[in-house]
Structure 1
Amino acid sequence: MIMARILPVFRRSIRETWRSLLGWTIGIALVLFLYLPLYPSFGTSDGMQQLIDSLPKELVDTLGYSQIASGAGYTEATFYGLMGFLLLTIAAVLWGSSLAAAEESGRAELDLAHGIGRSQYALETALSVLVRLVWLGVFAGLTVWALNDPAELELEPLRIAGASAALVGLAFLTAGAALLAGAATGRRIWATGVGAGLAVLGYILQALATQSEDLAWLDALSPYAWVFRQSPLAEGVDAGGLVLTWGIGLALAAASAVVLRTRDLRG
């Protein structure tokens, strides 16, 4: 009876989404096992380097392929900066829009009628999103570490942890934006649009910043650049960017609780 009163929204969310979480976990494993074991053949291939050299410099810089011949550059270009970013962003947007989805379906109004506070509802929803994203980040980091020696990547374990923390923080910032938009509007389309839009805008701003020194200032506006403009795997994660990304993500999640508490639910 006592357990039923502790984090009821969080526990129900985890219980109802474990199958989808398993699917995301398998997806990340498939991507890592598809790309990383190929590094020994790509990283030592003169043909691969010649192919990269033949591509436009702007495209190479945008995709992060300039250091792809190294284990750190290859892992970041294929997973942390691309496929991992894409997968966790999609998950973050979907999970972050769940607050608005609950209001649209009338489920939030029913839950609140049973004595769950609005702030509690929003914060427990955010916590469930955070826990699932952290799980994906930890799983990804452990998988990269397990493949480190077999794939001859020569990555440092501490830097793998830093890159995974950066990836999760970036995804949670996106989820926080979706949560806040959902709390403010009660509409899933707005939550999804704001979350996805922020992620895409951040990636585009970072890409533009690599094209010209005159546009380098755009890095300061891109959450993606905050954590990836300095290679977490090759140079170590940018501590300032990591703190900023996590701080804004947590602030957005907290703001969603404040906004939901002050707005009439549509149901």
Structure 2
Amino acid sequence: MSAPNSTTPQLSIDDLSPYHYVPSELVCVIFVSLFAIATLAHTWAAIKYRLWWLIPTVTLAGFGEIVGWAGRLWSSVNVLSANAFLTHSIDLAFALADSRIFLTCDIVALVVQGAGGGIAASANTQAGSNLGGNIMLGGIIFQLIALICFVSLATEFFIRFIKDRPVRGQSSLSNDSFTTITNSRPWDHRLKLMSGAMVFITVVIFIRSIYRTAELADGWNGTIISTQIYFDLFDGAMIVLAMYTLLFFHPGRFLFSEPALEEMIKLESNTGSSTRQSLIKSL
């Protein structure tokens, strides 16, 4: 029997792993648990306050995080499983979404990211992985640009709201659709807390978007994507902070006063959603 060739390189499990490391099982369990708790709580709150738009946005995003981190947990047990990495790559591309225009932008960006993640995770060649990575990068950059536009417009809105300087001017707001602007709600303590929470959520999502952009721009073999702590902190932890901040400063409790909220729920159950819209205008 001949002696083994000492010059033949021996590949470690980290070299074979698509992550370039083995995901920590404990960290994955913690994140799956945190997202599961937050998702259930958001679903309950959406039902309680009749804020149904939170289900296809926040609740769905939370479910995507659960599945993505479950795939990562699967990888911690079997790091060479292609299906586990595919689950991780596609589902963790999804994050929180907001508003009609920006929700549409998010959907487009997330579909592109999901498609890129699927191509990269199932690729058998470096060229295929690079193609999927570039598609994901394009979706993330598009999402980051949309987020920057959202932040700019939101900043202008808050400045005009605080200074009571609407875009159309007070004299031109005779239509009923502008009732909430002409009779604006006072900048009370509850509204300040809610607004501060929204600012914080936007910041952490912005941090996460910058991280994902830098991660993919650095390449599949780059230092950023190969460092586990970066992903845990700048991806997982950022979305955890966003979901729990929105839960603690829930719009059902902070955006509406308690009497108005109770009346809104009661009237909606009796007469339908059209009454709710009229009541919201009067707040």
- Normalising by structure 1, report the TM-score: 0.31
TM normalised by structure 2 equals 0.29
